[in-house]
Each structure stands twice: as structure tokens, then as C-alpha cells.
Amino acid sequence: MSRPHTPAHTADPGEPAPRRAAARHGAPADRGTPAGRGTLASRGPLAGHSTLAGHSTPASHSALARRSVLGLGLGAGSALALSACARPDTDPAEGGSPLTGGVLVYFDPQAWQTLYPPQVGFYPNGGIMNNIADRLLWQDPSTLELHPWIAESLPQINDDATAFTFRLRPGVTHSDGSPLDAANVKRNMDLYGLGDDKRQLPPSEQISNYVSGEVLDSRTVRFRFSAPSPGFAQAVSVMNAGLLSNATLTRDSQGFGPGSADRIIASGPFVVESEELGTRLRLRARTDYDWAPPHLPHQGRPYLDGVEIIVGTEYSVRVGALVSGQADAIRQVDAPDEARLTERGLRIVAAATNGVTNSIAMRFPHPLLSDQRVREALIAAVDRKRILTKLFTDNYPLATGILAHSAQGYKRFDGAWRHDPAQAGRLLDAAGWARDGGATRVKDGAALALRVNDALPQPRSKEVMTLVQEDLAKVGIALSINPGDMATQDADALSLERIQLYHSMVGRADFDVIKSQFAGTRRNALLNYDADTKKYRDPQLEKLLDRVSSEPQEAGRRGASWAVQDRLVDRALVLPLFEEPQVYGFRRRVRGFACEAVGRPAFYDTWLADAGERAQNGGPRR
């Protein structure tokens, strides 16, 4: 659990030494192991925690208040410097058995946009959908294995994976009282598999080749596909296939948007109680909930009475709310703040996203990148370890493959992305790019100048790219970072002229994830598919990607995924940087927090250590 960097704590130089040492234990002890990622279960006592609670005497508090006034005058731009002076969280961090009751206050950086399940990949959407809707199957976030949920057993699948038969658990109801039966499931999948252009509802990207559903009896339903679709079993376990009531399924795109949240009816452990447009949303526990995944030890109603989801666009406000105890949990803690939060006694949970690593796709159709030697030079020029040590923490492991090590289809590539600037120079010389005295290499009068997108959803993309820029400049490649907001970046990313290096990642706990990233009809990260000519620049790559989703058996899919990865590595098309987590910050009173397989919060198992006390005080605590 050693950290590569010393936790700097500028605002509080006279900190007693013991707490600093203890802060390193503030994060879950099991963070490093794949099985433990994403869960904050009570797992063994952390020695020394409660004994270090004696810091918040009234005397030290007033000293802290004085320091906060000083901080104001000196440089209050650093909001954390101010909030660093708040009372540290000294609640016991572990132990006890789950208590029922209490409302969890959770800050999300963005407002949700839609609750149409195929479109809930956006974090704030998924954070809601994952808690209000059940699915046919449940995917264990640590092993990625599928288990029964609304389906009482795993589906029967025919040999070529074109027909899936599910037997449903009896007695499940939506919160409006309507039954979750075979006809209802069929209506859900018909919409998610086919979409409805008239209502501007696109199909789910996870469901391919869907033909139709068929109700065999009230508890049995079969789905047919025009081509092998082995990914379907996993696809019905994700929040993009959340099961909604019949009435909800008749809504159009507008009807799934903000303002309608409390009319999105499903069968999950929580229901949307109310929303304030763009600022907050309340989830209320369903006390008659009795169909949790049988695999979970916890059954029946959720422990929490509710969750208050508050949109806090301003980062310093989110962190300040957590540090001051007004918030119980926040999504997205920036890497530089992790150490400071753990020093305050708060806990950091890094949830794995189990997909394509945070990486740079080199768009080979562009003339400057069509020469493999140039792409290899780019790879050799970039010092990935420097990026990680300068900008990130242990929660961001160096990528060892195209996929994260916990993803399905992961293949390890040792030495594929070695840092060797001298080699980069030799490769560029060989490719005919000469330095001619200038800073940027030229060939036939053209400069070796590329542009990369600023991946706003990815952590510190701009800082990462600034370091890449430095590395590339050393070998004579000019890199510019595309300016603009989210909509501009998304629009530019589709154009080879605007963006030649594409920085992105995808989380999805299935073999198909690699297809989601690189296939021409999906994200098309390499721009392998030319939308104008409707042709593939590398048809072989697309063929390999197709195999990933059409091989009926798991071994075949793994082999297909490996073949894609081999090709991407052999042709030097991708430079993976790190495995991207979703990082949450918590007060210590929050227990049992877990995420689903791509890092969206699941509050079903979450409970509050002081739920009883709070119930007496009435309502959410101040």
C-alpha cells in the first residue's frame, strides 16, 4: 500500500505525525486486489483507526478557524486549502452489522439527462437507473460472472447463440403495481433491441442482431437473433437493459427526460420520489422490495430509507461538502486530492470500469500516421510512467494491455509500449522526417504536426496531453490539443482533419467492449470506417471485431478478442495509458457501498453506521 508520492498537506504543516500515517489506511485495505475493487464492505478491522480520534478538541478547532481566515487572505483559490481546515472525520470506519434507515446525501458532478435505459451510459443517468431498475441477470462486479436475478436461472441458449430463453421469478411487481411478467420483459427487449425512430429512442448498443421476443407463457420468454449474439446474456445484466413497466415503455424521448423522473416506473429497490430540475433528485427505498439477486447475502428492502442525489457542478463545493460532513458521498475525486481526503479521515473508493483502458487511438487513415514507423515513434516517445507519477495515484494502474486487467478478454502485452526516445528519433529519421534545424520535423515541406482531442469525461485529459505534448516535442513531433467544450469535442472527434490522435476509454464488462470502441458502426475510435465512402480502411480489423460478438462460445470470443488486440498492437495503432477507475469519496459512516461492473453506484447494500441516531433526530442531518 505504499504510495509513490508523499501526501502533501500544505494547508496544515503542523499536523501531528500519527494521523498522517493513519491516513494511508483511510482507503479500503483491499484496494489492490481485483476482487475488492469497487466494494467498501466491512472487511477486517483496520487497526488504529478509532484510537486516532482525539484531534477535534474545541481548542484545536478554534486554531483551525483562525487558520481558515488566514487561508482566505493568502490564496483562497485553492478551495481545498480552506476546507482542509474542517474537522477531520473520526467516526469508526469499520465494524457493526447493517442498520436500516437514514438518507444518504450523494453529490454528482453532473445533472442527469435521460432515463431511457439504452442511453444511461452517462454516469449521472446510470447512477439513477442502476438503483431503480432490476435486470434479468446480475453480473458480479468482481468476478464478472452472471447470476440469476429477475430470471430465476441463467438462460437456455441454443448452440449458435441465436435464441435465449429466460424463466422469470414469480411475484415481481413494478412500483405502480403492474406485474413484471414475460409480456412485460418482451416489450422491454423489443424496444431496447430495435429502438423506435418515431419516438427518437435508439436501440441499445449492447444488443446486436435482435429479431424478436416471444412469450411462451406468463413466466417464460424467448428472444431470437438473426446472427449469433453471445453477448446478449451479459447485455441483459447491465443498467442499459433495466426493466421498466409497460406504461413507462410507451413514453417518447421527451418522456424519459428531466421533469419526468418520478414517472419512470420500474421494479428496483429504489423509486424516484421527486426531482428538482437540474439540481437534485430523491430516491426512496421500496419497503416491499423482495427480489434482490439471490447471489447476494442481503435480501429484502434496501438498508437506506433513501438517497438524496444533489448536482454539484463546482468541484470545490462537492469536496467541501464531503469534508465538512454535509455530504456522505461524492462521485469523482481528482487524483491530486485523494491523499488530502484520506488525511482528513475520508475514504476513497476506486471502482474498476473493466473495459478498454484510457488510451490514445492513432488514426492511421490520416496521411501523417499512415506510416507504421511514425506510429511506433509516437509510442516510443511517450513516457507513460512519468504521466502516471506526475498526475495520478495508485488507483490508476499503468495499462498492461489494450484492455484493463480485470476486463473480459484481457491480454497482457509486455514491452509493447516501451519508452525509448532515441528509438523514436531513429524511426522518424528512417521514415524520412528530418529535423532541418527546426523544432518540428518536416518531410516534403509538410510538418509533422498532429492534433489530439481534449477528452473531457476522462480524468485530467488536458494535463495528460500536455505531458504527451512535451514528450513528442522532444522527438520533433508537434502536438496541439483541440480546444472546445463537450459538444465541440464530440463533433470534431468524427473528423480525421480535426483529430488524428483520439484520447478515450470505454467501460463495459463484456468481450464486446473492444468492439464498442473500435468497430466502424460503434465508436469508430480509429476512424477505420469512412462515413463518406462507407468503406473500411482496414477491413481485416473490422472482420476480427465482428467475430468477437458472433462467436457463440466463450473460448471463441476470447480468441477473437485476442486476435483484435494482436492486430492493434502489431500495427501500433493504440497507445494505452492507464486503467481508468471511477473514484468516489465517502464519509466513514457510509458502509457497504458497491458499484456494478462498470463503476456506477449501487446503493442497495449501502447503510449508515449511525442510522439509528439520525432517525431520532429526524430527517437528513445538517
Partner 1 sequence: MSRTRPPALSWRYALNRVGQALLVLAIAFTLASVLLAILPGDAIMARYANPELALSPDQIEAIRVQSGADRGWFAQYLTTLAGFLTGDFGYSVASGAAVSDLFAAAVPATLALAAVGLAAAVLAAVAIALLATFGRQRWLRAVFDAVPSLFISVPAFWLGIVLIQVFSFQLGWVSVVDPSPAEALVLPALTLMVPLSAPLAQVLIRSIDEVRAQPFVRVTRAKGASDGWLLIHAIARNAALPALTMAGLTFGELVGGAVVTETVFGRTGIGQLTSQAVANRDNPVLLAVVVVSTAAFVLVNLAIDLLYPVIDVRLRTSPGDRGAPGNQGGHSLRAASGQADAPATAPADRQEAGA
Give residues 259-298 in contact with partner 1 (rule: CB under 8 A): 259-260, 276-280
> Per CB under 8 A, does 316 bind partner 1?
yes
State which of positions 192-211 bind partner 1 (CB under 8 A): 195, 197-198, 200, 202-203, 205
Strands 449-452 and 478-481: parallel
Which residue among 41, 52, 53, 111 contacts partner 1 (CB under 8 A)? 111
> Per CB under 8 A, does 496 bind partner 1?
no
Count other C-beta atoms under 10 Å from residue 105's C-beta. Answer: 23
Q: Which one of 108-116, 221-229, 241-249, 466-474 is the stretch in contact with partner 1 (CB under 8 A)? A: 108-116
User: Which one, 255 or 559, has the nearer CB to partner 1?
Assistant: 255
> Per CB under 8 A, does 523 bind partner 1?
yes
How near is the Cβ of 419 to partner 1 at its closest, in Å?
28
Q: Which one of 89-97, 116-124, 294-302, 351-359 is the stretch in contact with partner 1 (CB under 8 A)? A: 116-124
State which of positions 129-148 bind partner 1 (CB under 8 A): none
> Per CB under 8 A, does 313 bind partner 1?
yes
Which residue among 290, 314, 436, 570 contacts partner 1 (CB under 8 A)? 314
> Per CB under 8 A, does 497 bind partner 1?
no
Which residue among 68, 165, 220, 440 contacts partner 1 (CB under 8 A)? 68
User: Which one, 81 or 380, has the nearer CB to partner 1?
Assistant: 81
> Per CB under 8 A, does 553 bind partner 1?
no
> Per CB under 8 A, does 521 bind partner 1?
yes
> Per CB under 8 A, does 454 bind partner 1?
no
| 575 in Cβ contact with 360 (< 8 Å) | yes
User: Which one, 352 or 381, has the nearer CB to partner 1?
Assistant: 352
Strands 601-602 and 478-481: unpaired
Q: Write the CB contacts of 320 (distance below 8 Å, at least 6 apart in sequence).
A: 79, 80, 82, 83, 86
Which residue among 21, 72, 422, 446 contacts partner 1 (CB under 8 A)? 72
How near is the Cβ of 258 to partner 1 at its closest, in Å?
4
How near is the Cβ of 77 to partner 1 at its closest, in Å?
7
Which residue among 253, 372, 423, 466 contacts partner 1 (CB under 8 A)? 253
CA dist 246 and 190 (Å) reads: 12
Residue 353-392 contact track with partner 1, rule CB under 8 A, x = bound: ----------------------------------------
How near is the Cβ of 13 to partner 1 at its closest, in Å?
19
User: Which one, 25 or 263, has the nearer CB to partner 1?
Assistant: 263
Count other C-beta atoms under 10 Å from residue 462's C-beta. Answer: 15
| 137 in Cβ contact with 236 (< 8 Å) | yes
Q: Report CA torsion sign: 118, 122, 124, 130.
A: positive
Q: Which one of 220-228, 304-312, 353-361, 466-474 is the stretch in contact with partner 1 (CB under 8 A)? A: 304-312
Strands 280-285 and 220-225: unpaired
How near is the Cβ of 176 to partner 1 at its closest, in Å?
21
| 258 in Cβ contact with 112 (< 8 Å) | yes
Which residue among 29, 52, 53, 79 contacts partner 1 (CB under 8 A)? 79
> Per CB under 8 A, does 439 bind partner 1?
no
Which residue among 217, 436, 490, 554 contacts partner 1 (CB under 8 A)? 490
The count of chain residues that interact with partner 1, using the rule CB under 8 A, is 75
DSSP 19-87: HHHHHTTSS-TTTTSGGGTTEE---S--TTTGGG-TT--HHHHHHHHHHHHHHHHHHTTSHHHHHTTSP
How far is C-alpha 264 from the geometric centre of its chain's CA atoms? 23
User: Which one, 216 or 491, has the nearer CB to partner 1?
Assistant: 491
CA atoms within 13 A on the CB side of 398: 17
> Per CB under 8 A, does 310 bind partner 1?
yes
Q: Which of 464, 424, 476, 469 is nearest to 451 (CA)?
A: 469
Which residue among 34, 92, 98, 258 contacts partner 1 (CB under 8 A)? 258
| Cell numbers representing residue 326 in the block | 454535509
| Cell numbers representing residue 56 in the block | 477535534
Question: Is residue 402 helix, strand or coil?
Answer: coil
How near is the Cβ of 610 to partner 1 at its closest, in Å?
16
> Per CB under 8 A, does 619 bind partner 1?
yes
CA dist 308 and 327 (Å) reads: 10
Q: Report CA torsion sign: 491, 492, 496, 502.
A: negative
CA dist 134 and 238 (Å) reads: 9
> Per CB under 8 A, does 317 bind partner 1?
yes
> Per CB under 8 A, does 576 bind partner 1?
no
How near is the Cβ of 107 to partner 1 at its closest, in Å?
9
Q: Which of 606, 580, 460 is nearest to 103 (CA)?
A: 606
> Per CB under 8 A, does 516 bind partner 1?
yes
How near is the Cβ of 200 to partner 1 at its closest, in Å?
6
Q: Which of 326, 385, 374, 319 is nearest to 348 (CA)?
A: 319
CA dist 296 and 47 (Å) reads: 28
DSSP 230-297: TTHHHHTTSGGG--B-HHHHT--TGGGSTT-GGG--B-SSEEEEEEETTTEEEEEE-TT-----TTSS
CA dist 502 and 569 (Å) reads: 16
Question: Is residue 371 helix, strand or coil?
Answer: coil
Phi, psi at residue 325, to the nearest 5°?
90, 5
| 398 in Cβ contact with 578 (< 8 Å) | yes
Q: Which one of 139-147, 181-189, 463-471, 516-524 is the stretch in contact with partner 1 (CB under 8 A)? A: 516-524
Residue 2-41 contact track with partner 1, rule CB under 8 A, x = bound: ----------------------------------------
How near is the Cβ of 357 to partner 1 at its closest, in Å?
15
| 610 in Cβ contact with 589 (< 8 Å) | yes
> Per CB under 8 A, does 65 bind partner 1?
yes
User: Which one, 105 or 368, has the nearer CB to partner 1?
Assistant: 105
Which residue among 46, 85, 129, 221 contacts partner 1 (CB under 8 A)? 85
Strands 220-225 and 156-157: unpaired
> Per CB under 8 A, does 531 bind partner 1?
yes
Strands 270-276 and 280-285: antiparallel
User: Which one, 443 or 498, has the nearer CB to partner 1?
Assistant: 498
User: Which one, 157 or 455, has the nearer CB to partner 1?
Assistant: 455
